[in-house]
């Protein structure tokens, strides 16, 4: 299994149609031209399990993050990437839990970074996470998480917008 350095990603056009491939390490990579998956692990009290990225991450080290996230590799579907990332990051087989797709977004219709599908996993169990990806995590309500980000706590770029779009009603 290859590492992040040699991941081949599909390049997509403005309609999320595959038009080529690119290596993740290629300096020409533009995130709005690739696909990613994100997922929130939600418990029965409505709290989200929010991990802290490991200090060795090249992007957003030590920042708060979605429960599961990653790039869709070349030839993968969004759901296949979600299954793989949940297994790699949280040691979870998604079919052992209740899960559902929450939303799909385009970087051309939002301020989000990439084409993405967002999923929700339901469980009251704190996951046994991969320490190469995650240094820790905690259960937070969407409101508490957004307040911490607003107060200046480091967070992955799309986290606050995803929480607002997926868990807060329009104000």
pLDDT digits (tens, 9 = 90+) for 48-74: 999 999 999 888 999 999 999 999 999
Q: What is the pLDDT of residue 2?
A: 43
Q: What is the pLDDT of residue 171?
A: 38
Backbone angles phi, psi at 159, to 5 degrees: -60, -50
- Find out whether 7 is annotated in a ligand binding site: no
pLDDT score of 125 more than 80 = yes
**Residues near 30 by beta carbon (within 8 Å), at least 6 away in sequence:** none
**Domain map (residue ranges) of the chain:** 8-167
The fold for domain 8-167 equals: Nucleoside Triphosphate Pyrophosphohydrolase (3.90.79)
DSSP one-letter code for 71: E
Mean pLDDT of 121-146: 95
Assess contact for 46 and 141: CB atoms under 8 A: yes
pLDDT score of 1 more than 60 = no
Q: What is the pLDDT of residue 4?
A: 56
Q: What is the largest CA-CA distance in the chain?
A: 45
The answer to whether the pTM exceeds 0.85 is: yes
Mean pLDDT of 13-30: 94
* Alpha-carbon torsion (67, 124, 127, 91), positive or negative: negative
């Amino acid at each position: 299994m290859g590492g992040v350095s040699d991941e081949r990603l599909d390049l997509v056009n403005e309609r999320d149609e595959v038009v080529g491939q690119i290596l993740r390490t290629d300096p020409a990579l533009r995130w709005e031209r690739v696909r990613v998956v994100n997922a929130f692990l939600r418990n029965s009290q409505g709290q989200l399990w929010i991990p802290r990225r490991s200090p060795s991450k090249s992007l957003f080290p030590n920042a708060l993050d979605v429960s599961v996230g990653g790039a869709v590799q070349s030839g993968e579907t969004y759901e296949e990437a979600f299954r793989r990332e949940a297994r790699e990051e949280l040691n979870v087989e998604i079919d052992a839990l209740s899960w559902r797709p929450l939303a799909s977004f385009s970087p051309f219709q939002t301020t989000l970074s990439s084409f993405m599908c967002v999923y929700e996993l339901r469980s009251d169990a704190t996951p046994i996470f991969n320490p190469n990806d995650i240094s820790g995590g905690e259960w937070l309500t969407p409101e508490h998480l957004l307040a911490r980000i607003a107060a200046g706590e480091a967070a992955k770029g799309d986290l606050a917008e995803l929480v607002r779009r997926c868990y807060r009603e329009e104000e």
